[in-house]
Amino acid sequence: MNKGVKSIMQTNTKTASAEILEQAKLRKVQKRHQIKQQTTKQKLTNHNKKTA
């Protein structure tokens, strides 16, 4: 394997792991957002029950 191909493969591997990290971060943020929405919804429901 010549040097050029090897360095390209290493670059691709780094890019791939960066992408995986990015996707994991996005999923984490989406999950946090989802949980936040659920708790807000729950608070509203509880508040409505109290005032009803």
Residue type, 47: H
Q: Encoding tokens for residue 17?
A: 């792991």
Percentage of the chain lying above the pLDDT 90 cut: 44
Band (32; pLDDT cuts 50, 70, 90)? very high
Residue with tokens 């608070």: 43
* Euclidean distance between CA atoms 22 and 10, whole angstroms: 18
* Domain count within the chain: 1
- Asked if pLDDT for residue 24 goes beyond 90, the answer is yes
> Could you list the residue range(s) of the whole structural domain that residue 4 is in?
1-52
